[in-house]
Amino acid sequence: MRRSASSAPVLLLLAAGGLAGCGNGADSGSGDYPSEDIRLLVPYAAGGPTDLTTRTVGGCLESELGETVVVENLPGGSGALATTELVGAEPDGYTLSLVTAGTMVLTPLANEVGYTVEDITPIGVMADVPSVLAVGAESPYASAEDFVAAVEAEPGSVDVGVPGASTPQGIELQRWADEHDVEVTVVPFDGNAEMTAALRGGNVDAVLINASQDVTGNIDSGDVVPLIASSEERLAWLPDVPTFTELGFEGLTLSGSTFGLAGPADLPDDVAGTLEDTLQACLESDEVREDIGEQYVPEEFAGADGLAQVLDETQQVYEPILG
């Protein structure tokens, strides 16, 4: 796994007057790369937040690099189908993929998939989407304190939906029980839409769900009521929602999703550096930030080292649980 990227292209760009915005053409500083189409994989189905983020970034990379970027959805195997395709590709910069802690850490720990987090070259973070523990509009739980009190009074009596048993949300609820004695009954679903429908239909008491744009729309309408956020500090756009940490549940900060961009292991430094610099230029574009969602794009760009750190930290926490 690539831990750092060459800073030379950044310095060259800064010396030339700063990073250009999306569509203004970033100087690659890497010889002939790219000189052909780039394949950009998404390990999930079309239409969700991962697809939106990847297509938005892919369109900007295409404008900046001057070569076609073909976004391809390869759902299946909890991300293993697309990731297997990625790690088996030539390390030349022409096959890239969205990666998450789920696809790169949890799936390899829980299943024999033939790859690990060491088999990729991190390029940078595209978006950070926190999770929220949320209830329906008619829920008897008016606050986080009400919810926790009910669970502690009768362990296992409260059903909480998650987007799959071996997802960060599912594992964090297991940690909530193991480390803090707060035991809910975990109910796996296939994604946000199914979870939201179950919550609104009263089929589960709560959900631990990525607060992507589809979910924030339901929050704004009042159909979904967030009680607890997964972030370390309160979210600026949900200022009244306490965090797990704030409520005394230290360490439960890993149920959100970091959407990273990566290539196969051993990507040449000049190619990886070009991609890292171009990704930074894209994420500094107002248009890109608006399309992804301003609240999801990190205020400070997290490049190769930042993405590697997220994956490494997740590996350290989850390997004793799933390894």
CATH topology of domain 8-128+257-322: D-Maltodextrin-Binding Protein; domain 2 (3.40.190)
Which of the given ranges, 3-17, 21-35, 155-169, 289-303, has the highest pLDDT on average?
289-303
Q: Is 50 exposed, middle or buried (0-12, 13-18, 19+ CB in 10 A)?
A: buried
> Predicted confidence band at 121 (pLDDT cuts at 50, 70, 90)?
very high
Render pLDDT for 228-278 as a digit per residue (tens, 0 to 9).
999 999 999 999 999 999 999 999 999 999 999 999 999 999 999 999 999
The domain 131-229: what is its CATH number? 3.40.190.10
Averaged pLDDT score across all residues of the chain: 90
pLDDT tens across 30-88, in order? 469 999 999 999 998 888 889 999 999 999 999 999 999 999 999 988 899 999 999 99
In the chain, what's the furthest Cα-to-Cα distance? 64
* Residue extents of the structural domains in the chain: 8-128+257-322, 131-229
- Would 8-128+257-322 and 131-229 be classified into the same CATH topology? yes
Predicted pLDDT of residue 95? 98
Whole-angstrom distance, CA of residue 114 vs CA of residue 151:
39
* pLDDT reading at 17 higher than 70: no
Residue 191 pLDDT: 80
Residues in the chain: 323
Burial 70-103, CB ≥16 within 10 A → b, else e: ebebbbeebbbbbbbbbbebebbbbbbbbbbbbb
Distance CA 264, CA 85 (A): 9
Report pLDDT for 323. 67
pTM of the model: 0.84
pLDDT value, residue 96:
98
- pLDDT at residue 31, as a whole number: 65
pLDDT (tens digit per residue) in 280-305: 999 999 999 999 999 999 999 999 99
DSSP alpha helices (H): ranges in the chain? 8-15, 49-65, 80-87, 101, 107-110, 144-153, 168-180, 192-200, 213-221, 269-283, 286-292, 304-322
